[in-house]
A and B are shown apart, each in its own frame.
Chain A
């Protein structure tokens, strides 16, 4: 292996899906121990590029790709992910692939366990070898220590916090002795900031050992901090290949979307006190990974109210609990009326709508068309899009009204689709989110809960989503409660922001307060907690 030859080199790689060009003329190279940042909007071609590298069957099944991929100087055409793994490409996916009932050790060494010989092997073959638990533990410990994050090797995956899972996945790739290239797809999306920092540190350490890394992320600051080389993809083409010294977050962001992005938070004039529309008292919600222990807060009519906090502290649980999606207790009043918890239909009957953070699970009927998705809740809860016959004895679906409404929102929200009959599963993440929003708007709610409205969608769509929310708030007077992990996003749109820490609302501040103030609250600093503004304290 010649040292001057880069580990990975792509030459004019391109790909078409059924006449739809998703990648064109992508060429780059990646040296040993180098970290490459790959950024781009959703649909820019990042996943397709990685699928080509990883030999995913979907590529070969749709006519292969153009151009050449060289791995260690030799042309590589991996026909399956296993070929890629054998060659030394490791991939950590966005979705975790850990077995809940297995320990960290067992997960790291899945299907690569250390084994011991016994005589029965002669009859039944190698799979009847017994496991060498001691050696497995030793190997797991060494892989974990290489990352520099401490995890108990005997802990069950089902009991791990989400950050640990990410590290376990990486340790799994590290344990493969021949891993030369590690691909990380949005590894920090699920991590709290402190965990993300540890991850960045450990990736640096890994690259120093000679393993090259491709780092895909929407968090541009991390990319700039970590990567030695940054590749910006737009519409399937490389629009820039720079080094962190030559660029900054704003330049990259504008290259990604091809236009200048407005990032300055716009502050709205302070609002006079109006009536309270929603009151939550001692609310607890049992949402796995986002437990709410005690949340007390109230929201004013016509307000945009933000709920922020670090991942896993319970901010997502509040909306899910009020909407009845997870077991909850305590008291919630809307316009003075009690909401029966644990009963989604009852919550919806208070003219509350919810755009879930779980778009593909809760938010959408993936196999159904766009118009069905938009009309579904309104049809169930409010009898909209329903024609009644025989005095309501028979109910007919009003397809014409559904089509008209869908068409209106497709235009209004600029949803990119072939028609209102396209299935939701075929849309990109950003467009799916817009369908979710439209579904909520169709109900014309008084209160709209929106959770993580911009998670996993690109910069351009992000702005459109936030603008839409603000417009609905101003034009229809809808009270909006946004839950988001991105503080800057909350500060740019909200009137007031509540910070959730360890399942409790520990402070509610106007959005105009300096960012540092919120930062202190998020880490649960004592100085902030003793402040008189706090609602929902210990006693």
Chain B
């Protein structure tokens, strides 16, 4: 095989995951019948909406802890902040900032717990954080179902004390007096950040809206990650990511650094969830965070990242490709099979199926790379 051919082949193999999804989109886009300006608008919106969340996954990968399924803990913290801010009727940017101020310390504590648990499960971080997400979901549901409301569910006898986080807005609280409703309208916060600075660009008859302020924030975050990699702490995380024992024997505080990586990730995920929900405008108290974790991880994998290596480019490529599939495939499915109900089925199918496909493709890719390096070692046989 000549060199040129080999290089092309290597490029195709090492980017096989994104390439397959580009190919799928190329088939699905014409089938769906969406206009290009519609798709462009969708992608711009979704990129602004999701990038921050996906970026929050990068630091634990750098520290060798794999995909942080524990980011749902951060998402939960973000949602608690949003519930309280909505009750207090603080709107706009101040509302978002206040929600962040409330949720970041909660996220830090949750991240600390998560990091400490993961230190006891070295090498099995992903499945542990995934299960930890379920466990924390239970605690979160306990809090939002029983402890938040006009009156508390739990009353300590003989002392006139109610365990209660006061929330009085009847639109938030279930009619029984405690517990948060499932669907919350974030009217006051809707597009608070997106609309702070926006541009409308005419594209082919209609106009496309660009939420510049959100993109600026994402750009700042990217710069932060680039800069963070160059700090001593970032270098330590890279060292730990490669070999924990070596890092430990050189005096790096391995466990502490791993906890820091998870805390940073969880806090960023909390803020990411706030950005995500201000764009959506409504919040699913009991579901939003679950979806956040799954969709962010799927997007990152589709972008060509692996559990041990991920870059900023992977994030953006991944978000675009994942959401392109996400937008296009239900319509394409409907056009193909002619059933409207298939839409939701397709969404779920696509998001979970994508993770499985991405992981299988990564295994295949690793195998192909070994084969390739082998060929160069052989004699001229």
Binding site for B on A (CB under 8 A): 81-82, 85, 97-102, 106, 110-111, 113, 115, 126-131, 282, 284, 286, 291, 293-294, 327, 329-330, 503-504
Task: Give every chain A residue within 8 A of B235 (Cβ-Cβ).
Answer: 106, 113, 131
Q: How distant is A15 from chain B, measured CB to nearest CB, in Å?
A: 22
Check A99 against B243 for contact (C-beta < 8 Å). yes
Q: How distant is B238 from chain A, measured CB to nearest CB, in Å?
A: 7
Interface string of B250-262 (1 = CB under 8 A from A): 1110000000000
User: In the complex, A351 Cα to B183 Cα: how many Å?
Assistant: 71
Stretch at the interface among B51-59, B131-139, B332-340, B371-379: B371-379
Q: Which of B227, B238, B246 has the most CB of A within 10 A?
A: B246
Q: How distant is A168 from chain B, measured CB to nearest CB, in Å?
A: 12
Q: How distant is A202 from chain B, measured CB to nearest CB, in Å?
A: 22
Write 21 A-B pairs (CB below 8 A) sorted by A numbering: A85-B251, A97-B245, A97-B246, A97-B250, A99-B243, A99-B247, A101-B238, A101-B242, A110-B252, A111-B251, A115-B232, A127-B236, A129-B231, A129-B232, A130-B230, A284-B377, A284-B379, A286-B374, A327-B374, A329-B378, A504-B379
B101 at the A interface (CB under 8 A): no
Task: Give every chain A residue within 8 A of B360 (Cβ-Cβ).
Answer: none
Q: How distant is A93 from chain B, measured CB to nearest CB, in Å?
A: 9
Instruction: Report which of B250, B374, B377 forms a contact with A110, defined as CB distance below 8 A.
Output: B250
User: In the complex, A102 Cα to B247 Cα: how many Å?
Assistant: 12
User: In the complex, A81 Cα to B248 Cα: how many Å?
Assistant: 11
B2 at the A interface (CB under 8 A): no
Task: Give every chain B residue within 8 A of A98 (Cβ-Cβ).
Answer: 246
Task: Give every chain B residue within 8 A of A503 (Cβ-Cβ).
Answer: 377, 379
Interface string of B82-105 (1 = CB under 8 A from A): 000000000000000000000000
User: In the complex, A106 Cα to B247 Cα: how many Å?
Assistant: 12
Task: Give every chain B residue within 8 A of A329 (Cβ-Cβ).
Answer: 378, 381
Task: Give every chain A residue within 8 A of B167 (Cβ-Cβ).
Answer: none
- State the interface size on chain B (CB cutoff 8 A): 23
User: In the complex, A291 Cα to B246 Cα: how many Å?
Assistant: 27
B239 at the A interface (CB under 8 A): yes
Give B233's nearest chain A residue, CB to CB: A127
Q: How distant is A524 from chain B, measured CB to nearest CB, in Å?
A: 15
Q: Give me 11 other A-B pairs in contact (C-beta within 8 A), A99-B247, A503-B377 excluded.
A: A97-B246, A99-B242, A99-B246, A100-B242, A101-B242, A102-B238, A129-B231, A131-B231, A282-B379, A293-B378, A504-B379
8 tightest A-B CB contacts, nearest first? A293-B379, A294-B379, A127-B233, A111-B250, A286-B374, A99-B242, A97-B246, A110-B250
Q: How distant is B372 from chain A, measured CB to nearest CB, in Å?
A: 11
Given contacts A98-B246, A111-B250, A111-B252, contact A284 B381 (CB under 8 A): yes
Task: Give every chain A residue within 8 A of B381 (Cβ-Cβ).
Answer: 282, 284, 294, 329-330
Task: Give every chain B residue within 8 A of A111 (Cβ-Cβ).
Answer: 236, 239, 247, 250-252
Check A127 against B232 for contact (C-beta < 8 Å). yes
Q: How distant is A399 from chain B, measured CB to nearest CB, in Å?
A: 34
Considering only residues 216-250 of chain B, those with a C-beta below 8 Å from chain A are 227, 230-233, 235-236, 238-239, 242-243, 245-247, 249-250
Check A131 against B232 for contact (C-beta < 8 Å). yes
Task: Give every chain B residue within 8 A of A106 (Cβ-Cβ).
Answer: 235
Check B230 against A99 for contact (C-beta < 8 Å). no
Q: Which of B236, B239, B379, B381 has the most CB of A within 10 A?
A: B379
Check B242 against A82 for contact (C-beta < 8 Å). no
Check B377 against A128 for contact (C-beta < 8 Å). no
User: In the complex, A100 Cα to B238 Cα: how many Å?
Assistant: 11
Q: How distant is A83 from chain B, measured CB to nearest CB, in Å?
A: 11
Q: Which of B252, B374, B378 has the most CB of A within 10 A?
A: B378
Q: How distant is A372 from chain B, measured CB to nearest CB, in Å?
A: 26
Q: Which of A110, A128, A131 has the most CB of B within 10 A?
A: A110
User: In the complex, A393 Cα to B243 Cα: how many Å?
Assistant: 46
Task: Give every chain A residue within 8 A of B377 (Cβ-Cβ).
Answer: 284, 286, 291, 293, 503
User: In the complex, A467 Cα to B127 Cα: how many Å?
Assistant: 52
User: In the complex, A12 Cα to B216 Cα: how many Å?
Assistant: 69
Task: Give every chain A residue within 8 A of B378 (Cβ-Cβ).
Answer: 284, 286, 293, 329
User: In the complex, A131 Cα to B233 Cα: how many Å?
Assistant: 9
Task: Give every chain B residue within 8 A of A282 (Cβ-Cβ).
Answer: 379, 381
Q: How distant is A291 from chain B, measured CB to nearest CB, in Å?
A: 5
Given contacts A286-B374, A291-B377, contact A128 B233 (CB under 8 A): yes
User: In the complex, A282 Cα to B377 Cα: how many Å?
Assistant: 14
Check B239 against A102 for contact (C-beta < 8 Å). yes
Given contacts A130-B227, A284-B379, contact A82 B251 (CB under 8 A): yes
Check B232 against A110 for contact (C-beta < 8 Å). no
Task: Give every chain B residue within 8 A of A81 (Cβ-Cβ).
Answer: 249
Instruction: Report which of B231, B239, B374, B379 forms a contact with A99, defined as CB distance below 8 A.
Output: B239
User: In the complex, A98 Cα to B246 Cα: how many Å?
Assistant: 7
Q: How distant is A329 from chain B, measured CB to nearest CB, in Å?
A: 7
Check B231 against A130 for contact (C-beta < 8 Å). yes
